[in-house]
Amino acid sequence: MIRAGIIGGAGYTAGELVRLLLNHDGAELAFVHSSSNAGNPLTAVHAGLLGETEMCFASDYDLSSIDVLFICSAHGESRRFIESTELPPHLKIIDLAQDFRDESDGFVYGLPELNRERIAGAGRVANPGCFATAIQLALLPLAAEGLLDDEIHITAITGSTGAGVKPGATTHFSWRASNISAYKSFEHQHLIEISRNIRLLQNNFDQDINFVPLRGDFTRGIFASVYTACPLSQDEADKLYRSFYADAAFTFVSPANIDMKQVVNTNKALLHVEKHGGKLHVVSAIDNLLKGASGQAVQNMNLMFGLGERTGLKLKASAF
């Protein structure tokens, strides 16, 4: 059994990670640390776990007793933790913040559809951002073939859980319900990792990536609409995408248009490709807390320990 620990256990992603690990046939959850909730039952924060566990949040932990550590702390805290902590040589680390997505300090960027073999041999993995996952999956096949020769236009909408568990002016129910708004237009932080990885596949890409993120009036999920100029026909585009993701454990190309409910509560990513004149339109959908965060983290853990990628992640969408 893989013994796992979690640092920063009070947020939405940690709650989903606990749920997945408790039901994972190859893993055992050793501790969930939270300095603000130490001694309290996990269910006092993650009420959906009632009946699943009687564990309490830990005030301290023994890193030598576990095989893998998931870091679910706020952005910036992971680097401080790594730099200030003596880490056992055997310990594998999966960071869910953005601190090491540039692959610094020995981390591998944890998008399996891009880096499966490198992740399998890694000791440290940086989990991708949620928007970055959905958008890159829409673009990777084109970049791999050197077909990105024009500006890329992206509009993507996310649920309120993407903003984290701490309530704020744009997350509380009375503002978010029956509402929609744009934010961080053309300057969202995930553009950094998107641009970096696109250029790793297509090093001559020098066009703008125009990204407008939207806040949705739902709790979880990301739905991205991506289009760019493309010389491929519809048949050629379908063949390219199906071939690129033929061996992917969770990314599927749908012949029919897709909707977000098909992926919510799963680790799946669904894509649909349509040619319109000289442009290719790609629709991408994921659950921001699973394929966009904790589910992908478990997928990476499976790869790092030689397990099947789908282990512990055979989840059904709540399609209605």
Instruction: Output the pLDDT for position 255.
Output: 97
> Does pLDDT of 36 surpass 90?
no
195-231 pLDDT, tens digit each: 999 999 999 999 999 999 999 999 999 999 999 999 9
Q: Given 56, 72, 130, 230, which residue is catalytic?
A: 130
- Per-residue model confidence as pLDDT tens digits over 270-289: 999 999 999 999 999 999 99
CA distance 182 to 170: 11
Q: Which amino acid is at 207?
A: Q
Could you tell me which residue, 171 or 183, shows the higher pLDDT?
183
> Mean pLDDT of all residues in the chain?
96
Dihedral, CA of residue 272, residue 276, residue 281 and residue 285, to nearest 10: -40
pLDDT one-digit tens code per residue, 240-267: 999 999 999 999 999 999 999 999 999 9
Contact 42, 14 (CB under 8 A): no
Whether domain 2-127+293-304 has CATH 3.40.50.720: the reply is: yes
Catalytic site includes residue 72:
no
Q: What is the pLDDT of residue 35?
A: 86
pLDDT tens profile 147-164 = 999 999 999 999 998 877
Residue-wise over 30-68: b if at least 16 C-beta within 10 A, else e?
bbbbbeebeeeebbebbeebeeebebbbbeebebeebbb
Question: Could you tell me the CA-to-CA distances from 230 to 145, 204, 206, 235, 237 in Å, in that order?
Answer: 11, 16, 15, 13, 9
In whole angstroms, give the CA distance from residue 107 to residue 66.
19
The pLDDT score that the predictor gives to residue 171 is: 80
Domain ranges of the chain: 2-127+293-304, 130-286
C-alpha 114/C-alpha 117 separation (Å) is 9
pTM of the complete model: 0.96
Would you state the pLDDT for residue 172?
80
Closest CA to 53 of 31, 36, 35: 31
- Secondary structure letter of residue 241 according to DSSP: H
Percent of the chain with pLDDT over 90: 92
Is pLDDT larger for residue 67 or for residue 59? 67
Instruction: Report DSSP letters for 29-67, one per residue.
Output: EEEEE-TTTTTSBGGGT-GGGTTT---B-BS---GGG-S
CATH assignment, 130-286: 3.30.360.10
Q: How confident is the model at residue 193 (pLDDT cuts 50, 70, 90)?
A: very high
If you average pLDDT over residues 49-62, what whole number do you get?
95
